[in-house]
């Protein structure tokens, strides 16, 4: 047996035909290699919390759902001293963090990846009294998530994110952000500030080679203006061997303790979910999670020499 005791948590909001497809594709692969497989559906956020708390002693905790479902699970795991090993079966619109982990988006291949039992220690973040796994952001990113049309999301999937982003990019105005990165204070007029742990948003990979979910650091990105030059500057970052402190309309710093304030309370997007407002206090939780990864997972390497080391990750 690859695993003795496993729980598979399913977002109950999924249509029945989608759940049936999951069972047909995944169970024949996983079933023969698991001693005890427990299936649980989460009809509510409260039920999901109960499942996480009651089954923290399993060999593997599998989540079938999108980034929102994963976000809810890690908000429970973040409170545990020793959370169980976690695997994602991608079942959402974008499945961004599963992409960071190099989990195949095909369910059968994702199940096979889980059987390989290759795991890595993964950083996560505390944000005020909550947690996130992939990113937190204010300004344009929060406006984009807030203005996604639910019906459009159902019919067009990830395309809806791009349409909303384009619309908000054209309409967005800058605001003043007061940001503390470790001991450095930054006052910046920007249309968006992102605190990145992962490097996929809306299925798009960020063009910054320094971003890692294993290095104990966040990558903090300021986007100063919403214009075509910003887009050019953004994609030119991929040509850098390390990181650019200043790249035209883009500013980029790294740290492990981030505070963000604005003159008025502004919404903050965490992993695509909006329920927090500024001010926010973000701290890295280095290697808090143990997660199943795919063959193409980008392990943390040596930091490029032009990146300022702000201390030893905690």
Check: CB of residue 176 under 8 Å from CB of residue 83. Answer: no
Cα gap 39→224, rounded to integer Å: 47
For 34, the enclosing helix (H) or strand (E) is: strand 34-42
Distance CA 194, CA 137 (A): 4
What CATH number belongs to 3-123?
A: 3.40.50.10330
Lowest-confidence pick of 27-36, 77-86, 149-158, 264-273: 149-158
The whole-number pLDDT of residue 254 equals 96
Report the distance separating Cα 283 and Cα 127, nearest Å: 7
Is 0.75 surpassed by the pTM of this model?
yes
The residues, any chain, with a CB within 8 Å of residue 163's CB and separated by 6 or more, are 152, 156
Point out the catalytic residue in the list 13, 112, 273, 277.
273
Instruction: Give domain limits for the chain.
Output: 3-123, 131-287
- pLDDT averaged over the chain? 85
The 10s digit of each residue's pLDDT in 258-308 is 999 999 999 999 999 999 999 999 999 999 999 999 999 988 763 433 344
Angle between helices 67-77 and 45-54 in degrees, nearest 10: 50
pLDDT tens by residue, 213-265? 999 999 999 988 766 566 566 655 655 544 445 557 788 999 999 999 999 99
Active site residue 277: no
Structure token digits, residue 18: 């989608």
Q: Where are the alpha helices (DSSP H) in the chain?
A: 16-30, 45-54, 67-77, 96-100, 107-116, 140-146, 150-156, 159-171, 228-236
Please answer whether residues 112 and 163 qualify as being in contact, where contact means their C-beta atoms are separated by less than 8 angstroms: no
Round to whole Å and give the CA distance between 70 and 37.
19
Q: Which residues contact 262 (CB under 8 A, 6 or more apart)?
A: 138, 175, 176, 177, 178, 278, 279
| Architecture of the domain spanning 131-287 | Sandwich (2.60)
Percentage above 70 pLDDT, the chain: 79
H or E element: which one contains 250? Answer: strand 250-255
Between the CA of residue 74 and those of 119, 166, 194, 198, 252, what are the distances in Å?
16, 30, 20, 14, 27
Round to whole Å and give the CA distance between 241 and 156. Answer: 36
pLDDT, tens only, 36-49? 999 999 989 999 99
Number of neighbours of residue 305 by Cβ within 10 angstroms:
7
DSSP bridge partners of 283: 126, 257
- What CA–CA distance (Å, rounded) separates 64 from 83? 18
Crossing angle of helices 107-116/16-30, nearest 10°? 40
pLDDT for position 85: 99
- Three-state secondary-structure class, residue 155: helix
Confidence check: pLDDT of 96 > 60: yes
Buried b (16+ CB within 10 A) or exposed e, 65-80: bbbbbbbbbbbbbbee
């Amino acid at each position: 047996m690859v695993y003795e005791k496993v729980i598979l948590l399913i977002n109950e909001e999924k249509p029945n035909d989608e759940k049936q497809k999951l069972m047909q594709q995944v169970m024949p692969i996983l079933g023969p290699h698991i001693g005890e497989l427990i299936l649980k559906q989460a009809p509510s956020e409260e039920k999901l919390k109960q499942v996480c708390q009651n089954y923290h002693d399993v060999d593997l905790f599998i989540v079938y759902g999108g980034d929102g479902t994963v976000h809810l699970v890690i908000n429970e795991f973040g409170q545990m001293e020793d959370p169980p090993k976690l695997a994602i079966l991608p079942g959402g619109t974008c499945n961004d963090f599963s992409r960071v982990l190099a989990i195949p988006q095909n369910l059968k291949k994702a199940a096979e990846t889980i059987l390989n039992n290759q795991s890595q220690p993964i950083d996560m973040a505390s944000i005020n009294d909550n947690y996130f796994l992939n990113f937190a952001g204010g300004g344009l990113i929060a406006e984009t998530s807030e203005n996604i049309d639910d019906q459009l999301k159902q019919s067009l999937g990830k395309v809806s994110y791009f349409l909303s982003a384009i619309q908000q990019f054209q309409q967005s105005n800058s605001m003043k952000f007061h940001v503390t990165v470790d001991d450095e204070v930054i006052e910046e007029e920007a249309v968006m500030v992102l605190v990145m742990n992962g490097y996929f948003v809306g299925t798009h990979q960020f063009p910054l080679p320094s971003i890692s979910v294993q290095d104990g650091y966040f990558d903090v990105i300021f986007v100063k203006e919403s214009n075509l030059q910003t887009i050019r500057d953004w994609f030119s970052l991929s040509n850098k061997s390390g990181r650019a402190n200043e790249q035209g309309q883009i500013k980029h710093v790294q740290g492990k303790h981030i505070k963000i304030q604005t003159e008025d309370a502004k919404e903050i997007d965490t992993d695509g979910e909006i329920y927090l407002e500024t001010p926010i206090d973000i701290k890295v939780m280095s290697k808090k999670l143990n997660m199943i990864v795919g063959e193409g997972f980008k392990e943390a390497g040596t930091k490029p020499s032009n990146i300022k080391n702000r201390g030893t990750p905690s």
